[in-house]
Amino acid sequence: MASIFRAFSNPNPNPNAETKPKEKTIDLGNGSEVIYVPRFVPSDQAWGWFEYLDKEIPWTRPLIHVFGRTCLQPRDTCYVASEGLSELKYSGYQPQAYSWDDYPVLKDILAMVHEAVSGSKFNSLLLNRYKNGADYVAWHSDDEKLYGLTPEIASLSFGCEREFQLRRKPIKTQQGNKGPEQPAVKRPKSSHQDQHSFSLKHGSLLVMKGYTQRDWVHSVPKRAKASTGRINLTFRHVMTENPQDNE
């Protein structure tokens, strides 16, 4: 598959300067794909953004409802979205949507992601802060209807390196629970791996594409040895009524 990344033009004439970050594409099979770029944001810039976000974002740790139980979400969160979009709701929780204008740095980060991921039109952002290795995100997929059938999700990580796991859903749960637009199709057992793991580095970018949300779950498990904080930003596109925005 062709690279999703635009050829980086190098604005810096210094021949020793870094040019295009190295990307690794993992074909998950059946139209799902993940792209990982370990050094997407230069380290110093990434630390600057970490400090800013840690301090300035109005983090909350909400109550969520899963499997009939109410519990504290095991990480801090915040949501930023363009005006007029359908509201996000997950695990019985509807986050307040903050404006991009409140956090100009987020606009800079968004511009950098848009520049790199060709054709992307992200209009919302879910931020997560893991205070230490006791914070985590459980197995889930970001398959809310408002993202459409094949959402592209760009995930930027800052701070403590944490493991990101991907696991293929059992075949019978891969489709059919999200409305009539997904006819049940029989797929042959794929020769691809059923699990993948990435150690998400400070300043890295991971993009999930195609049917990854329909057919796979992902998680960031607890890690006793992780003693420092990590901030993760996932950029998403909420479908709108204007078909041009959704192309």
Ligand X SMILES: O=C(O)CCC(=O)C(=O)O
Residues placed in the known binding site for 2-oxoglutarate: 128, 130, 140, 218, 230, 234, 236
Given 33, 76, 135, 142, the residue binding Fe ion (CB under 5 A) = 142
113 binds, among ligand X, Fe ion, none (CB under 5 to 8 A by kind): none
Q: Which is nearer to Fe ion, 142 or 152 (CB)?
A: 142
Here the tokens at position 217 are 């779950």
Q: Could you say which DSSP state residue 83 is in? A: T
Q: What string marks each residue from 194 to 233 as x (binds Fe ion by CB under 5 A) or -?
A: ----------------------------------------
Check: CB of residue 233 under 8 Å from CB of residue 137: no
Residue nearest to ligand X (CB): 232
Residues 6+ apart with CB under 8 A from 133: 160, 162, 222, 223, 224, 225, 226, 227
Q: Report the candidate in 123, 136, 141, 159 with the shortest Cα–Cα distance to residue 235.
A: 123
Question: What are the residues binding ligand X (CB under 6 A)?
Answer: 126, 128, 137, 142, 155, 157, 164, 200, 218, 220, 232, 234
SS3 for 172-211 is HHCCCCCCCCCCCCCCCCCCCCCEEEEEECCCEEEEEEEC
Whole-angstrom Cα distance, residue 220 to residue 234?
13
Q: Which is nearer to ligand X, 123 or 234 (CB)?
A: 234
Q: What string marks each residue from 88 to 127 as x (binds Fe ion by CB under 5 A) or -?
A: ----------------------------------------
Q: Which is nearer to Fe ion, 135 or 142 (CB)?
A: 142
The minimum distance between CB 128 and ligand X, in angstroms, equals 5
Q: Which residues bind Fe ion (CB under 5 A)?
A: 142
